[in-house]
């Protein structure tokens, strides 16, 4: 398995606000380029990982993957005109509420590799499989807003993991990723602030957003 680790010291964590509802799309226009397309309206690019929209190419190209963090779709071949349609398929940013600032994070991107070598070869051969993302993060512990209930409820969280943010105002370069937290640990040391350590697994692909 090949991995690409990333580390940072700054991040923000969002969860859906109480009573949040996902919005619909009806033949939403996309920006096409080669074998890819992205939803044109920036405000409609945070997709619902439980019910993403259906991307349809007028030329009949087959959909390969959807990135839930930036409304980006990849097809098996070049596309003509692509539209996206769905019920409850995206979240307006107003439906997300910030519930914490991360004090540390680590992100691991991995690709499954199957050994396809055969006898007589001098070097091994591998066949690539599926890619996946996992990681860990740390945040200050807030008793009445811990992430334990998020784990119990199998709740999706939206993370922004900053790699460059000199002004510390969350406008810098960052990864965006939908995650499920699969474990948490409360750390309390003498003379230190109580912190919560979290392990997560991403739902689908991640994206990277430049400040410019």
Residue 6 has pLDDT above 60, yes or no: no
Q: Which residues pair with 197 in a beta bridge?
A: 138, 185
Cα atoms in the Cβ-side hemisphere of radius 13 Å centred on 59: 14
Q: Which among 36, 56, 90 is the end of a domain? A: 90
Detail the DSSP E strand segments found in the chain. 2-8, 10-16, 23-33, 36-39, 54-57, 63-67, 72-75, 82-90, 96-115, 126-140, 156-164, 173-187, 195-202, 207-209
Q: Which domain holds residue 136?
A: 2-17+95-209
DSSP H helical ranges for the chain: 148-152
Residues 203 and 157 occupy one common structural domain: yes
Q: How many CB atoms lie within 10 A of CB 125?
A: 11
Stretch 15-22: mean pLDDT: 88
Predicted local distance difference test score (pLDDT) of residue 146 = 61
Q: Assess contact for 97 and 78: CB atoms under 8 A.
A: no
Predicted local distance difference test score (pLDDT) of residue 196 = 80
Q: How many residues does the chain have?
A: 212
Q: The CATH number of the domain where 115 resides is what? A: 2.30.110.20
* pTM of the complete model: 0.82
Residues 76 and 8 occupy one common structural domain: no
Give the list of residues 6+ apart from residue 23 with CB closer than 8 angstroms, or none: 44, 88, 89, 90, 91, 92
| pLDDT tens readout for residues 38-97 | 999 999 999 999 999 999 999 999 999 999 999 999 999 999 999 999 999 999 999 998
Give the count of domains, the chain.
2
Stretch 162-187: mean pLDDT: 82
| Confidence category of residue 8, pLDDT binned at 50, 70, 90 | low
Residues 110 and 194 occupy one common structural domain: yes
| pLDDT tens readout for residues 111-166 | 999 999 988 888 999 999 889 999 998 877 666 556 777 777 788 999 999 887 76
123: which 2 tokens?
């070097």
Q: Which among 45, 66, 90 is the end of a domain? A: 90
pLDDT over 90 for what percent of the chain? 55
Residue 2 has pLDDT above 60, yes or no: no
Q: Which among 52, 69, 90 is the end of a domain? A: 90
């Amino acid at each position: 398995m090949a991995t690409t680790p990333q580390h940072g010291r700054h991040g923000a964590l969002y969860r859906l606000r109480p009573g949040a509802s996902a919005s619909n799309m009806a033949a939403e226009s996309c920006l096409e380029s080669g074998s890819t397309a992205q939803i044109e309206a920036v405000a409609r690019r945070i997709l619902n990982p439980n019910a993403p929209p259906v991307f349809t190419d007028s030329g009949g190209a087959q959909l390969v993957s959807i990135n839930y963090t930036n409304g980006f779709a990849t097809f098996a071949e070049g596309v003509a005109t692509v539209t996206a349609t769905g019920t409850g398929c995206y979240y307006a940013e107003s439906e997300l509420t910030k519930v914490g600032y991360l004090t540390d994070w680590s992100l691991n991107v991995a690709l499954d590799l199957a050994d396809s070598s055969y006898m007589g070869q001098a070097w091994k051969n591998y066949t690539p499989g599926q890619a996946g993302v996992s990681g860990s993060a740390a945040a200050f512990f807030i008793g009445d807003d811990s992430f334990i209930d998020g784990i119990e409820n199998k709740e999706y969280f939206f993370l922004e993991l900053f790699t460059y943010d000199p002004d510390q105002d969350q406008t810098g370069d960052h990864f965006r990723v939908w995650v499920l937290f699969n474990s948490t640990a409360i750390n309390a040391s003498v003379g230190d602030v109580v912190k919560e350590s979290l392990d997560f697994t991403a739902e689908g692909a991640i994206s990277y957003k430049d400040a410019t």
